[in-house]
């Protein structure tokens, strides 16, 4: 018994010792692991440092989304491709975003899909007749009378229709302008958001414009009836920007002097509102060719980028107001707009391409445009100009054209967006000639790339944002040198915190039931998440500091 007890005590001591050793080793291991983890973490940070000016930004794109139709308006016999009857027919999308990441899309309605006849048949061909919306048996793809208006309040994961944009079945004589919303007859429009997240949606009827106002990302409609803009201009494509508390800038594409204006000449006319669009100043002429407009949300700057004139070659210039565009019109008055400043050359006139301007609150402003020195179906370029001091000084413009190969390719409708942390993205419809020029079977794709704080001669790394071809060149298009299948433009935005971007664009699918040699046109959205470690959003510094810092950077 003594020996047994001795052994038992010895085993106990041994066990306690082993436990103590084990505990000590475990603690040491945890300390060591923690230390190694910190070292690895620091090593990882060292291998992937925050982006430096001129560095490409890595973006990963998600599955694209088609814009929906109202379920009660889906018609299996209206001529749509059976796999896409639940989606809206449209083209030339506009995209906007508020401070919470809520987005809104509008798109041109397909007028040929409004019924077998057309009230404007002398101009569009066909036979005389009425237009219809959401009407069974009338082969329409329209859900309502206004142009398309889709919204998302979950950062682009799901999309629906804006408030009061409900189905409006019947012919155009049943459109009720007193009802507002989706009953305001419209054709195409543009969207802007001010500093208070009020959404201003302008929809044109070709002879004038209707205004709609929303809050809550588009889920609350703020108007009781169709609000007419009360200009007599026969506008084609409207452009809208907004800032501050209800300041709206409208750039109308009239093509000729509107009858209510002065004797000034111009393709584009600027209108200004300080009261949320309830009234507008009239008729400030901005002579030049194709144009777009943008503005700061909080700051006072407004920018208009233009071709200097409607001509095969020339320059791209920018008009700048540093005082919210106030004091403008009726003429003769330049208000707060400075004289145009040339930002780059035009070596060829691309088919219906717009120089696009965009900006952020920190003073960064950029203009991009397609350039066609080799003709409509030769190799195209994308040119870019940038300023970091509200357009006071500009770096030399430069080509950011993809490296298509020896035969080149096309870079159509480039659109630029700038995040608050100075990430500059450019998207475009791209086509690689693959060595045999513009020819049948060539595929158009949505292309995109981004650079953190780019400077003159920095390069973009381009990628395909949607793996599905948007359109494939047909035999007729090759014979006619027709490059217009994807129409005139599309748009992109950046998230408020710069962690993702969104693009609204067009895809052609199947044959059009009412137009020869045309396709069905659908609106899509794709979100791209930023993988690179982008610096925090820039806090707008004092003007003097911006000029000093940027002058050194530019000179260097």
pLDDT confidence tier of residue 543, bands split at 50, 70 and 90: very low
Percent above pLDDT 90 for the chain = 68
* Least confident piece of the model among 4-18, 340-354, 402-416: 4-18
Whether 34 shows a pLDDT value over 50: the answer reads no
pLDDT of residue 262: 61
pLDDT digits (tens, 9 = 90+) for 335-349: 889 999 999 999 998
pLDDT confidence tier of residue 514, bands split at 50, 70 and 90: confident
* Least confident piece of the model among 225-239, 278-292, 400-414: 225-239
pLDDT of residue 29: 42
- Cβ neighbours for 176, distance < 8 A, ≥ 6 positions apart: 183
* Average of per-residue pLDDT across 441-456: 98
**Two tokens, residue 342:** 């040339």
pLDDT confidence tier of residue 333, bands split at 50, 70 and 90: low
Whether 165 shows a pLDDT value over 70: the answer reads yes
Q: Give, for 475, the enclosing helix (H) or strand (E).
A: helix 475-480
pLDDT of residue 35: 43
Collapsed DSSP state (helix, strand, coil) of residue 455: coil
pLDDT of residue 222: 95
pLDDT digits (tens, 9 = 90+) for 39-48: 333 444 445 6
pTM confidence score: 0.88
pLDDT digits (tens, 9 = 90+) for 227-262: 988 876 667 788 999 999 999 999 988 766 776 666
Whether 552 shows a pLDDT value over 70: the answer reads no
Whether 456 shows a pLDDT value over 50: the answer reads yes
pLDDT of residue 310: 86
How far, in Å, CA of 48 to CA of 107, rounded? 40
* Burial of 263 from C-beta contacts in 10 A (0-12 / 13-18 / 19+): exposed
Percent above pLDDT 70 for the chain = 84
Mean pLDDT of the chain: 86
What does 98-122 look like in DSSP terms, one character per residue? -TTS-EEEEEE--GGGS-SSBTTHH
* Average of per-residue pLDDT across 489-504: 97
Whether 181 shows a pLDDT value over 70: the answer reads yes
Q: Give, for 451, the enclosing helix (H) or strand (E).
A: strand 443-452
The three-state (H, E, C) secondary structure of 353-389, written as one string: CCCEEEECCCCCEEEEEEECCCCCCCCCEEEEEEECC
What does 330-356 look like in DSSP terms, one character per residue? SSS--TTBPPPEEEEEESS--TTPPPE
* Least confident piece of the model among 251-260, 300-309, 495-504, 526-535: 251-260
How far, in Å, CA of 469 to CA of 508, rounded? 9
CA atoms within 13 A on the CB side of 443: 10
pLDDT of residue 216: 98
Place of tokens 């950011």: 400
Task: Give me the residues paired with residue 473 across strands.
Answer: none
pLDDT of residue 396: 98
* Average of per-residue pLDDT across 164-171: 96
Which among 552, 420, 522 has a CA at the least distance from the CA of 90? Answer: 522
pLDDT of residue 36: 42
* Average of per-residue pLDDT across 457-470: 98
Q: Give, for 478, the enclosing helix (H) or strand (E).
A: helix 475-480
């Amino acid at each position: 018994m003594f020996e047994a007890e001795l052994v038992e005590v010895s085993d106990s001591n041994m066990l306690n010792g082993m436990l103590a050793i084990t505990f000590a080793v475990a603690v040491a291991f945890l300390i060591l692991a923690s230390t190694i983890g910190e070292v690895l973490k620091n090593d990882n940070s060292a291998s992937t440092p925050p982006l430096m000016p001129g560095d490409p930004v890595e973006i990963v794109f998600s599955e694209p989304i088609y814009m929906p139709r109202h379920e009660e308006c889906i018609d299996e016999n209206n001529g749509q491709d059976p796999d896409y009857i639940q989606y809206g027919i449209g083209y030339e999308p506009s995209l906007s975003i508020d401070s919470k990441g809520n987005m809104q899309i509008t798109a041109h309605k397909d007028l040929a899909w409004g019924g077998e006849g057309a009230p404007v048949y002398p101009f569009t061909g066909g036979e005389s007749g009425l237009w219809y919306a959401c009407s069974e048996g009338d082969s329409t793809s329209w859900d309502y009378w206004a142009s398309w208006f889709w919204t998302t309040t979950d950062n682009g994961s799901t999309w629906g229709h804006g408030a009061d944009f409900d189905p409006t079945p019947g012919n155009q004589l049943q459109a009720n302008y007193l009802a507002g919303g989706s009953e305001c007859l419209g054709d195409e429009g543009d969207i802007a958001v001010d500093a208070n997240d009020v959404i201003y949606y302008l929809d044109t009827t070709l002879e004038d414009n209707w205004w709609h106002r929303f809050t809550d990302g588009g889920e609350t409609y703020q108007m009781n009836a169709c609000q007419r803009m009360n200009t007599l201009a026969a506008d084609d494509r409207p452009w809208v920007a907004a800032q501050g508390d209800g300041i709206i800038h409208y750039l109308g594409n009239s093509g000729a002097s509107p009858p209510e204006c002065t004797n000034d000449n111009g393709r584009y006319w600027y209108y200004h509102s300080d009261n949320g669009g309830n009234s507008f100043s009239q008729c400030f002429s901005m002579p030049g060719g194709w144009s777009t407009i943008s503005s700061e949300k909080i700051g006072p700057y407004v920018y208009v980028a233009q071709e200097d004139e409607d001509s095969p070659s020339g320059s791209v210039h920018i008009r700048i107001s540093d005082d919210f565009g106030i004091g403008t019109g009726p003429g003769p008055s330049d208000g707060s707009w400075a004289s145009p400043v040339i930002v780059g050359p035009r070596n060829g006139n691309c088919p219906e391409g717009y120089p696009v301007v965009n900006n952020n609150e920190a003073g960064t402003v950029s203009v991009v445009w397609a350039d066609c020195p080799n003709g409509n179906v030769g190799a195209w370029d994308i040119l870019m100009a940038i300023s970091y001091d509200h357009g006071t000084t500009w770096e030399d413009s430069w080509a950011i054209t993809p490296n298509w190969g020896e035969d080149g390719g096309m870079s159509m409708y480039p659109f630029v967006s700038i995040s608050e942390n100075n990430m500059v993205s450019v998207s475009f419809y791209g086509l690689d000639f693959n060595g045999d020029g513009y020819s049948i079977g060539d595929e158009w794709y949505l292309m995109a790339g981004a650079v953190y704080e780019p400077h003159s001669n920095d390069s973009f790394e381009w990628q395909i944002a949607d793996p599905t071809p948007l359109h494939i060149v047909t035999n007729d298009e090759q014979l006619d040198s027709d490059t217009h299948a994807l129409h005139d433009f599309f748009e992109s935005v950046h998230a408020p915190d710069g962690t993702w971007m969104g693009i609204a664009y067009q895809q052609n699918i199947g044959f059009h039931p009412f137009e020869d040699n045309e396709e069905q046109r659908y609106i899509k959205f794709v979100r791209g998440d930023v993988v690179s470690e982008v610096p925090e959003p820039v806090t707008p510094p004092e003007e003097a500091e911006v000029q000093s810092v940027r002058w050194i950077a530019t000179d260097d």
